[in-house]
């Protein structure tokens, strides 16, 4: 009998060896296994609809805005003139939704390995994409993100790696080879931001990525945000660029926010700047 079987009516996340997260399943809405992973959607009284892949929480209606706003707006507002953006992953549509709030964006490519994620997100989590899949600026490519990075010749101003954890299909998105190929896909002054887990529980994951970034980029590091259902402390979002976008002033960010009329629930220029101030235990993980 598995740990999940011992708690009927609850979704038990087994991502970490010594730590469990349990979320009450008020209503099970979807449960199906694709060629790549097991997809489940259920409703929780506090967080609303929740999507899990292979039992690991990917997105919830309740707190997704924190993750998606910080992943998308920090690099795009720091860049200031991003016209071409690439999302690797992001099949729930939340990252595309936030990126498309920038009127200067001309082309958005989303590379998702599993068409099933997009299909059921449109049906069971429509509020997260909020119409993003119908925007003419969005092109969806069903492919492995690592293969796309290696084979594509297109360059982008911002690359957002909205990956799962480094297990299963997401494992290839945390390799030196992937990051090296991603660097070639960045235009001059381009910025790459990556999902790098919760450093308190996933120390090695962050250090591995930062070691690769150090060898490839002039400016590398991470910034942080706290998303309640990504448990174990603040989440790290990797930052990599050969430009100077990290140093943009809060006043300049505020002007850019006003110019595009951005209405955000978590992101502010002040949060943007403060997110790069790392706790000591995270700084110690940097190579």
Catalytic residues: 162
The values of phi and psi at residue 94, to 5°, are -65, -40
Contacts of 211 (CB under 8 A, 6+ apart): 287
For 56, list phi and psi in degrees, rounded to 5. Answer: -105, 130
- Nearest by Cα to 155 from 96, 51, 84: 84
Helix ranges, the chain (H): 64-79, 94-99, 115-124, 126-129, 145-151, 176-184, 203-216, 250-260, 269-274, 280-283
- Return the SS3 of 38: strand
DSSP string, 143-201: S-HHHHHHH----EEEEEEE---SSGGGGGGGSHHHHHHHHHTEEEEEEEEEE---TTT
- Helix/strand/coil for 40: strand
Asked whether the beta carbons of 245 and 253 are under 8 A apart, the reply is no
The single residue listed with the structure tokens 């469990």 is 20
Task: For residue 22, give the H/E element and its range.
Answer: strand 19-24
| Cα–Cα dist 208/210, whole Å | 6
């Amino acid at each position: 009998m598995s740990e999940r079987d011992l708690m009927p009516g609850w979704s038990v996340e087994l991502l970490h060896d010594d730590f469990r997260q349990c979320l009450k399943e008020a209503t099970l809405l979807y449960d199906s296994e694709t060629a790549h992973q097991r997809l489940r959607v259920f409703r929780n009284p506090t967080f609303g609809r929740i999507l899990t892949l292979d039992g690991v929480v990917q997105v919830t209606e309740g707190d997704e805005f924190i993750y998606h706003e910080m992943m998308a707006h920090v690099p795009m507002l720091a860049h200031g003139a991003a016209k071409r953006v690439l999302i690797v992953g992001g099949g729930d549509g939340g990252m595309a939704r936030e990126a498309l709030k920038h009127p200067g964006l001309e082309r958005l490519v989303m590379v998702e390995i599993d068409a099933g994620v997009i299909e059921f997100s449109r049906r069971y989590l429509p509020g997260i994409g909020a119409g993003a899949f119908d925007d003419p600026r969005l092109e969806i490519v069903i492919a492995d993100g690592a293969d796309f990075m290696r084979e594509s010749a297109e360059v982008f101003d911002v690359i957002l790696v909205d990956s799962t954890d480094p297990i299963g299909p997401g494992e290839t998105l945390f390799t030196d080879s992937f990051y090296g190929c991603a660097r070639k896909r960045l235009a001059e002054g381009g910025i790459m931001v990556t999902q790098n887990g919760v450093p308190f529980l996933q120390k090695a994951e962050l250090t591995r990525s930062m070691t690769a970034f150090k060898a490839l980029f002039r400016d590398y590091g991470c910034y942080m945000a706290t998303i309640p259902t990504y448990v174990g402390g603040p989440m790290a979002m990797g930052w990599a660029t050969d430009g100077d976008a990290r140093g943009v002033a809060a006043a300049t960010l505020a002007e850019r926010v006003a110019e595009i009329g951005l209405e955000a629930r978590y992101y502010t220029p002040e949060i943007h700047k403060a997110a790069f101030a790392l706790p000591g235990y995270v700084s110690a993980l940097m190579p």
